Amino acid sequence: MSKDKPSIPKGTRDFGPATVVKRNYIFSVIKRTFEKFGFLPLETPAMENLSVLTGKYGDEGDQLIFKILNSGDYASKITAQDLENGSKPLTPKISEKALRYDLTVPFARYVVMNRNEVAFPFKRYQIQPVWRADRPQRGRYREFYQCDADVVGTNSLLCETEIILMMDEVLSTLGLDDFTIKFNHRGLLAGIAEAIGANGREADLCVAIDKLDKIGQDAVNQELLQKGFTQEAITNLQPVLGLSGDVADLLPQLDTLLQNSDEGKRGLQDIRSMLSYLESLEVKQAKLQLDVTLARGLSYYTGCIFEVKVNNVQMGSISGGGRYDNLTGMFGLPGVSGVGFSFGVDRIFDVLEELNLFPEGSQTITQVLIANFDEASMRYSLPVLQALRTMGISTELYPDSTKLKKQMTYADQKQIPFVLLIGSEEMETSLLNLRNMRTGEQHRLSLTEIIDHLQTYFSA
């Protein structure tokens, strides 16, 4: 057996109890919201067949997929020629499985495999880890959770509207009160390409515009020039990049700009429908902003696109999504329109920490620790322990009769709010000593009074 100092792989994390509890708080708010909107949970295997994943994320993505070595005598499959040809062609000979890279491709695969059993429109959510062999850096991990919700099998703009509502509900429930949901439409981007005289170049336009926040307007122009956009097109684009104001100001300007583009008009119509549905609904905290420079990198979006930014916090987008028209086409099932979005849990976690928004007491698991003075006190405590648990109060009895100080430290480390002290006097009088660890107050109470007190305290 190895006696080496153990470690974990680069870019992965252990989540200790305090962190798991906070993360579960975020997951539970997201899950509760998804379910309140009628989304059903799906779970797919960590491993997918390599052929299912390959070719779905571009060449760069393919490199970042973690491949699993075949079991058995894989080495006998390798020839001297293979070694000369290098790793890329060798991989499929010694690996047929890989770790999932996102939740979207497994979802598409599931829909295609189960197309006859699934109730369409299929509203599913999925909260599972994904793995990417990216270079680890601050905030970028090789294992991280995605929280996706998608509807496939309908074109209804009610779905887009509800994405805004779910983003608003999750983030409001988590206590955020200053965040902006930016939206745009791929049709507007296509229309803008037409309008500036770069018809059909919206893909390149998107990729460049998508970097506007990161690299600035000049660098974007430079990139467009390199990609073969004419100077005239770039000049025409500048006023568009500078468009500002609220959606009521922007829409008429865009009507004019995009009057000759069918795609542009489709985008404007979709946005107007979505906004008109929203008028009958209540948005709690989100600010809404039509941002014609919002592009989102993923080329499979075809309709509305979304991104959420927390204001006054240094942090990239914490949620995003959009409509796609051909997700299942990659597996031979064309014509299934869908729309989806996801939350970035690691970023939300950091925002809640920074803004101190994790609710106090949300990390409490054990509610009462019964101190262990000696064998007699321990035996006396056993029915008390059971009575508290039966009333739904999470309780533990310290397993050893060690120094009280050590037991109190244990309660502090585990953030246990109450300690019950049962010494010889308490056993005689049946009045047990309940100590509030935050205030330091102690009261002698009967077991019934203790249960009452604790139930009131924890239901508050």
Ranges within 253-282 binding its own copies (CB under 8 A): 277, 280-282
The verdict on 75 binding its own copies (CB under 8 A) reads yes
Q: Tell which residue, 34, 20, 36, has the closest CA to residue 358.
A: 20
Q: How many CA atoms lie within 13 A of 246 on its CB side?
A: 5
Number of Cβ atoms within 10 Å of the Cβ of 87: 10
Between 261 and 395, whose beta carbon lies closer to its own copies?
395
The verdict on 2 binding its own copies (CB under 8 A) reads yes
The verdict on 59 binding its own copies (CB under 8 A) reads no
Which pair of structure tokens corresponds to residue 118?
């699934």
The verdict on 332 binding its own copies (CB under 8 A) reads yes
- Hey, which bits of 134-232 come out as E strands? 143-152, 179-185
Say what the alpha-carbon torsion angle 34, 47, 62, 335 is, to the nearest 10 degrees: -50
- The nearest distance, CB 136 to its own copies, in angstroms, is 12
Cβ contacts of 56 within 8 Å, gap of 6 or more: 101, 105, 330
Q: Token match 């300690």: residue?
A: 419
Q: Tell which residue, 334, 442, 445, 447, has the closest CA to residue 395.
A: 447
The verdict on 356 binding its own copies (CB under 8 A) reads no
- The nearest distance, CB 218 to its own copies, in angstroms, is 35
**Per-residue x/- marks for its own copies, 291-330, CB under 8 A?**
--------------------------------------xx
The verdict on 48 binding its own copies (CB under 8 A) reads yes
- The nearest distance, CB 333 to its own copies, in angstroms, is 10
Strand 301-310 and strand 319-324: pairing? antiparallel
Which pair of structure tokens corresponds to residue 147?
């929280």
- Pick out residues in 361-420 that bind its own copies (CB under 8 A): 365-366, 369, 378-379, 382-383, 385-386, 389, 392-397, 399-400, 409-410, 413-414
**Per-residue x/- marks for its own copies, 182-221, CB under 8 A?**
----------------------------------------
- How many chain residues are in contact with its own copies, going by CB under 8 A? 117
Between 66 and 306, whose beta carbon lies closer to its own copies?
66
What's the rounded Cα separation, in Å, for the pair 64 and 57? 9
The verdict on 447 binding its own copies (CB under 8 A) reads no
Between 114 and 430, whose beta carbon lies closer to its own copies?
114
Q: Token match 């059971």: residue?
A: 386
- The nearest distance, CB 339 to its own copies, in angstroms, is 10
- Pick out residues in 11-40 that bind its own copies (CB under 8 A): 12-17, 20-21, 24, 35-40
The verdict on 45 binding its own copies (CB under 8 A) reads yes
Q: Which amino acid is at 229?
A: F
- The nearest distance, CB 107 to its own copies, in angstroms, is 10
218: left (phi over 0), alpha (psi -120 to 50) or beta: alpha
The verdict on 95 binding its own copies (CB under 8 A) reads yes
In the three-class reduction of DSSP (H, G, I as helix; E, B as strand; rest coil), residue 153 is classed as coil
- Pick out residues in 121-160 that bind its own copies (CB under 8 A): 121, 123-124, 129, 131, 133, 142-143, 151, 154-156, 158-159
Between 260 and 299, whose beta carbon lies closer to its own copies?
299
Between 133 and 251, whose beta carbon lies closer to its own copies?
133
In the three-class reduction of DSSP (H, G, I as helix; E, B as strand; rest coil), residue 371 is classed as coil
Scored b (16 or more CB within 10 A) or e, 29-65 reads bbbebbeebebeebeeebebebebbbebbeeeebeeb
